[in-house]
Amino acid sequence: MIPVCEPVLDGNEERYVLDCLRSNWISSSGRYITDFEERFSSYCGVTHGIACSSGTAALHLALKALNIGPGDEVIIPCFTLIVAANTVLMAGATPVLVDVDPDTWCMDPRQVAARLTPRTKAIMAVHMYGHPCDMDPILEMARRHGCFVIEDASEAHGAEYKGRKVGGIGDAGCFGFYGNKIITTGEGGMVVTNREAVAARAHLLRNQAFEEPRFVHRDIGFNYRLTNLQAAIGLAQCEKLKEKVERKRALAESYRRLLAGAAELTLPVEAPWARNVYWMYGVLLRDGFGRSRDETMRMLHERGVETRPFFHPLHRQPALADRFKNDRYPVSENLATRGLYIPSGLGLTAAQIEEVAGKLLACRT
């Protein structure tokens, strides 16, 4: 079976982890944590990085560090992983959905403008499957409205908007380092920001809000710490981040070349102002393909190719349905019905890429 995405550990990961074990720095203190924070935040073009236990933790920390809570609204795309809505609800705020652009699959800025209210405290821009959002109109709306911009860049390590790395464009950027991400720590995340106050508060809250005296707490904090062992892996991954991004782009170019002649497929785009890192190579099946998305996925599995469906739109999530039961988001609905992503791991060989593309095309009727 050709897996949809596997981590590649081909640098100093083993050496750094062994150093942690031999020095006994295996928990949430140690030099690899600060080295990882500094290396990754610098790559993103920002001054502060706060490592944490997951991408979910990073989003929750960013929301809390910006003092978003009950009575506030946060605008998020309908087409994204449920984590965006979950973290807004965890912060006590209200998620407000907008549909996405049919080409980039990212938040549609025109729809954001229509959903701003006096209660809007933040816009959460999700850089979908490695393609950045169109940030300038989002930032302009946020400035005029007096609200924050949080970037969910968990799928877009190294992606660029008009020459700027994503994550370093808004008030706070959030990354996840799960095993299928461009760089991984197994589990883990990071908040990056240029705002001193946001960094200080996120740093405080990730560690149970410990202050002095140590066991007297003025805030409700969380155990969102990353371990030195995980950070050691992350630092080693960072050392090859540029190489990994270029490998993702090369993989996408190979798929584009092999699939470009198939009129029955819609392939990922790269807007003129964007640098897409193609975290997952997603395709849409048009009517002419002749098979449903689910039937195609079953056939590919039988032929040894692992796939995943596109995200389920948030307004149709059973856990959230009562909040959005009268809403319609046609672009998100179409993507969720027609979209799948094919093997996109950094370790794929040229032969495997050709095999996947050939077997996908062979599913056509």
Q: Is the pLDDT of residue 326 over 90?
A: no
| Proportion of the chain above pLDDT 90, given as a percent | 98
For the chain, the structural domain boundaries read 13-98+105-238, 241-361
Q: Is the pLDDT of residue 267 over 90?
A: yes
Map tokens 């240029």 to a residue: 194
Mean residue pLDDT of the chain comes to 97
Global model pTM greater than 0.85: yes
Q: What is the per-residue pLDDT across 59-110, written as a single tens digit (0 to 9) for each?
A: 999 999 999 999 999 999 999 999 999 999 999 999 999 999 999 999 999 9
Instruction: Kindly give, in sequence order, each residue whose CB lies less than 8 Å from that of residue 358, ignoring residues fewer than 6 positions away.
Output: 258
Calculate mean pLDDT across residues 10-15: 98
Which structure tokens are listed for 149?
């911009």
Residue 8: which pLDDT band, with cuts at 50, 70 and 90? very high
pLDDT at 174: 98
CA quadruple 155, 160, 161, 164: dihedral, nearest 10: 120
DSSP string, 142-159: HHHHT-EEEEE-TT-TT-
pLDDT at 321: 87
Residue 223: which pLDDT band, with cuts at 50, 70 and 90? very high
pLDDT at 166: 98
At the second CATH level, the architecture of 13-98+105-238 is: 3-Layer(aba) Sandwich (3.40)
Residue 325: which pLDDT band, with cuts at 50, 70 and 90? confident
Give the class (CATH, top level) of 241-361: alpha beta
Calculate mean pLDDT across residues 254-278: 98
